[in-house]
Amino acid sequence: MATVETRNLTKVFKHGQPGAVNNVNLETREGEFLVFLGPSGSGKTTLLRMIAGLEEPTSGEVLIGGRVINDLPPRERRIAMVFQSYALYPHLSVYQNIAFPLKAQKVNRELHKQKVDWAASLLGIRALLDRKPRELSGGERQRVALARAIVREPSVFLLDEPLSNLDAKLRASAREELELFQKRVGTTTIYVTHDQVEAMAMGDRVVVLHQGIVRQIGTPQEVYDEPEDTFVATFLGSPPMNLVEAEDTIVGFRPESLLPAEVLVHSSRSEQAEQVRREHQLGTNQGNIIPLRFRIDNLEYLGSERILYGVLIGTRFAEKEVCARIPSRLGAEIQVNSVHDFVVPESALKFFDRASEKRTAPRAFLWQ
């Protein structure tokens, strides 16, 4: 068991070009599941590969268990890594694949079978031990890769988009399994993904990366509810946060905070409305809401909820494109090309500095 720390870690691939990873400082906690989240090209895989020792940092330090390990080759870092492609050894059977790290680490030969059995049964692949990787499905390969990673009980797990090669249904179940599995073995884990759902669902904390720079580190709730800048605000959440720009301020509100005005009408008997009202703490006090007129141009029905795309009408943000996400049973009369009264609770507004795009304290904001 160990923690991973990076100090001013930087990687520049071509001299004179912007770095793939720039001055990254972060520290995992003991046994934590830390997720690197970012769009492609954000440097998350490069960062992981530097921790693994597969990429040499241009500058900065990598520490595992409090010790600088920049000069150690990957095999001496006591890490295990699962690659996006799984990188199983195609000429070896599943058993030999899982036993390979034991052989490489010169673990006592008598223990091999016992350890392979332990890893294989933990992942439910004992029936596959004699097969070759090409005879396995995607999900099975992923398990073999995991078994190979855990078999020698590393101090840190590094996972590079291990679910991206699975189909959507399998991905959801594999995600849950992986999460439970990590909790059980309790090994510090760093997980790279571009999928925000994976990041939110699995991570104890999420590191949001963009252009090689750490934008925010926090729990899923923190990065979602309290984004530190406009990149984090718009990268997380689907659809992304609505942003409207004024003189020196950008104001953002999540699509689920843009609600039909009907939820305020207390006489409405709708249970759904009552529930939404409670969730957003909309009391009788009309002062804490902002009324907006919203023309719906497009509408997506997603079963339990609907996504409304359109523009604001009136105010000084007229024609500004925004979207709303509302429960399906709410606002039955809302259709494409109609204009409706919507509200945003003032408490849901996030304020950003327009120049730096960083989060600022709430301030007075004129909507008219």
Partner 1 sequence: MAISNRKLGAAMFLPAIVYVLAVIGLPFVLAFIYSVGDVKIASVGYHFVGLDNFRSVLQSPSFRRSLYDSIVFTVATQLVVLVGSTILSIALKDKFRGRGIVRFLILLPWVAPVSLGAIGWKWILDSIYSVINWLLVAIHLVRPFDTPMWLGEPTLAMISVVAVESWRLLPFSTVILLAGLTAIPRDIPEAAAVDGADFWRTLFQITIPMMLPIVNVAILFGVIFTFTDMTVVYILTRGGPYDSTQVLPSLAFFTGILGGDLAEGAAISIFLVPILIAVAYLMLRVAHRTEVA
State the residues that interact with partner 1 by CB under 8 A: 52-54, 73-75, 77, 79-81, 83-85, 87-91, 100-101, 103-105, 134, 148, 152, 158
**Shortest gap between Cβ of 188 and partner 1 (angstroms)?**
15
**Shortest gap between Cβ of 112 and partner 1 (angstroms)?**
14
Report d(CA 8, CA 58) in Å as an integer. 10
Our CB check for partner 1 shows the closer of 85 and 286 to be 85
Report d(CA 70, CA 58) in Å as an integer. 11
**Shortest gap between Cβ of 139 and partner 1 (angstroms)?**
19
Our CB check for partner 1 shows the closer of 189 and 216 to be 189
Our CB check for partner 1 shows the closer of 107 and 307 to be 107
- Counting Cα atoms < 13 Å in the Cβ hemisphere of 34 gives 27
**Shortest gap between Cβ of 44 and partner 1 (angstroms)?**
17
Q: What are phi and psi of 220, to 5 degrees?
A: -50, -40
Cα distances (Å, whole numbers) of residue 194 to 37, 73, 109, 265: 5, 27, 40, 41
Report d(CA 20, CA 213) in Å as an integer. 9
**Shortest gap between Cβ of 31 and partner 1 (angstroms)?**
20
Our CB check for partner 1 shows the closer of 52 and 214 to be 52
Q: Are 80 and 101 in contact (CB under 8 A)?
A: yes
Our CB check for partner 1 shows the closer of 150 and 236 to be 150
- Specify the 3-state DSSP secondary structure of 188: strand
Report d(CA 366, CA 58) in Å as an integer. 48
